[in-house]
Amino acid sequence: MKLPHRRQFLHLAAGAAALPTFSRMARAQSYPTRPVHIMVDVAPGGSSDILARLMDQWLSERLGQPFIIENRPGGGGNIATEAVVRAPADGYTLLLVGPSRAINATLYDKLNFNFIRDIAPVASFLRGPVVLVVNPSVPAKSVPELIAYAKANPGKLNLASAGNGSNPHMSGELFKMMAGVDMVHVPYRSGGAALTALLGGQVQVYFPGTVSSIEYIRATRARSHHRDALGRTAGRSDSGRVRAGI
């Protein structure tokens, strides 16, 4: 995870008071003068929640006001987005935005907001990859082996996601389409719940972000890392808990 330079991010965060959508009062005063709420569209434990809490602590320490995380899971992120849209446009209710905002515009016919019109950007602070992880019960040690196994057992593998339309869901559907395999989609209310289900064996395949999964990958030595036919790296952890392909 690479964050912007401290001064750059502090400037961007404080610049929220100068956005056109904020009230004149917010622009005129020193921002912030009271607690700021950050809406997160997943339950605690997912990648977005972890990122928000790391940034929450950083901002609170440097700006001298509490930044409070509010988890509003459900609706593919639409519940959290609508809560921010309906809040006063004063810079004290922020939204952690992920790829699902662009995805939702194509999945939902009727939304109670127009994201481009109703939300103003403040700062971009992360670009991260998605990781393919599988439960060790799957007899595949590389991505090509996983594809071959899935083709030989259509519908046998369960594909976890952090909800319909989430980034892990779209990543999994893209993988299914490109590889020509049939896996059953199982949506959860958060990335943390999906990862827990994978580690517990309720599902076999998941595409999380590295933020929530990296510790499970780093905790043990990779036994057979190698480049496979799809240009990804695959391996198995010594703990037997999770395999990962990047």
The token duo for 245 is 């392909």
Tell me the three state secondary structure of residue 227: strand
Higher pLDDT, 55 or 223: 55
Going by the DSSP 8-state scheme, the letter that residue 34 receives in this structure is: S
Q: What secondary structure letter does DSSP report for 120?
A: -
Extract the tokens encoding 155. Answer: 């519908």
Q: Which CATH architecture has domain 6-118?
A: 3-Layer(aba) Sandwich (3.40)
Backbone φ, ψ for residue 141 (5° rounding): -110, 10
Q: Does domain 132-245 have CATH number 3.40.190.10?
A: yes
Is 0.75 topped by the overall pTM?
A: no
Strand partners, 226: 234
Tell me whether strands 184-187 and 205-206 are parallel, antiparallel or unpaired.
Answer: unpaired
Over residues 187-196, the pLDDT tens digits come to 998 888 898 8
Q: Is the pLDDT of residue 18 over 60?
A: no
> Highest mean pLDDT range out of 19-33, 127-141, 206-220?
127-141
Burial class (CB within 10 angstroms; exposed 0-12, middle 13-18, buried 19+) of 83: middle
Domain boundaries, the chain: 6-118, 132-245
How many Cβ atoms from other residues are within 10 Å of residue 200's Cβ? Answer: 10
Q: Do domains 6-118 and 132-245 have the same CATH topology?
A: yes
